[in-house]
Amino acid sequence: MRRIVVLLVLALVAAAAFGLSSASSGLSVNGASVSANTFRTELTAISSTPAIDCYITSLDPVSYAPGAGGATMAAAGAAAWANLRIEGIAIVQYVTDYLKFHATPAALAQARSSLEGEMTQSAAAASYRCPASSDKALAEMPAEMRSSEIVAQAASLYLVSKLNSTIPLTTASMRTYFAAHASSYDTLCVSIALVAPAQLAAFAAARSKGESVAALAAQFSSDASKSKGGAYGCYAPTSTSFASVRADVGTTKLDTFPATPQYISYNNSTYALFVAPTKRVPATFVQAASLVLADLKTINATKANTQKERILYDYTSVAVDPAFGRWGLNTTGPTVFVPAIPATGDVNSSKSLTSSSTTPYK
């Protein structure tokens, strides 16, 4: 799945726009290149076509708007698209060379349908209302851009299918996974305590003495639920809030507030939020099916990302023209960085430019 192996974390060192030289060499991955002209054409298509921009932004939410001084695209967007292209080419090369994959017309048709579906899903997940359907957005891409994305999608689908750790998204596999993780889908009833910073020490002391969840909420919480001992509601796996509630509760024991809170903004101030599970009710597979499917997709995505990083580390030699960014390592692996803007003065100066120069480099 093309998009599940493209979860980028860009460590951006600057967000200023930059010009793209007509003499630049573009991108190169193990000798396979995307010319600078082709890459600029793709950047222009993204920044000037609302439907394409909408779907690409939903996949990686940075600005793909035109850059300053007539640049094709702002630096952050150019670097993000370079990452997408590099990863796609690297995956195609890997499955072709090591897994002997060759895209058939049927595989390409399936890949196109899959890519359109993931574009639609990513836009919906980001609450974007794109001005055209995903198939129309794909049709509006330049021919080489569209072809490369479909081929990369086909290669990614094939790669995921060959991972030994991938869990098939079948009803049988989902039922097996649910049976082994049934407690992860219990209906959860929770109580909360929203505690002001000035009361955290007193709250911690009372908690350590064994005061109940209801007593702690009634005494220290700033939320209206304090009148009910902090009782906030029950959430079944069919609830749209269930995944976040499950994450908030984590491994906390019943009728116990965790020692470490979350911090949220409340009344223009930062408050500590404590969430305690007060009741668990086992759910059926039918109730949990959609969430099980989402969880399996996430698990497979994580495993696919691990394989993607391995491909980029061990099997890929990348060259990026400085006009488009810098190839290097961050905490999540190899990536294209936005080029740093040089200081305005000498190396002893503490000042630095805050915007790109309006004078072209000659």
Sheet holding 32-34, edge to edge: 32-34, 27-29, 318-320
11 pairs with which residues across the strands? none
Residue extent(s) of CATH 3.10.50.40 domains in the chain: 187-281
pLDDT of residue 10: 31
Higher pLDDT, 34 or 362: 34
Helix (H) or strand (E) segment spanning residue 271:
strand 269-281
Question: Nearest-CA neighbor of 117 among 171, 163, 88, 153?
Answer: 153
Determine the pLDDT at residue 316: 82
Percent pLDDT > 70 in the chain is 85
Report the chain's mean pLDDT, rounded to a whole number. Answer: 83
Query: How confident is the model over 272-294, as pLDDT tens digits?
Result: 999 999 999 999 999 999 999 88
Residue carrying structure tokens 């006009």 = 323
**Higher per-residue pLDDT: 352 or 129:** 129
Domain spanning 187-281: CATH 3.40.1350.10: no
Residue 260, both tokens: 């470490």
Bridge partners, 277 (sequence order): 190
pLDDT at 214 over 70: yes
Which pLDDT score, from 0 to 100, does residue 334 have? Answer: 82
Task: List, for residues 327-348, the tens digit of each pLDDT value.
Answer: 888 777 788 888 665 544 444 4
What is the Cα–Cα distance from 258 to 297, expressed in whole angstroms? 29
- List, for residues 138-180, the tens digit of each pLDDT value: 999 999 999 999 999 999 989 888 887 778 888 999 999 999 9
Strand partners, 183: none
Q: Is the pLDDT of residue 235 over 90?
A: yes
Query: What span, in angstroms and rounded, lies between the C-alpha atoms of 182 and 72?
Result: 51
114 or 70: which leads in pLDDT: 114
Higher pLDDT, 103 or 6: 103
Q: What's the whole-number mean pLDDT along residues 54-82?
A: 80
**Given this model, what pLDDT does residue 67 score?**
64
Quickly tell me which residue has 């007509």 as its tokens: 22
Q: Residue 19 pLDDT > 80, yes or no?
A: no
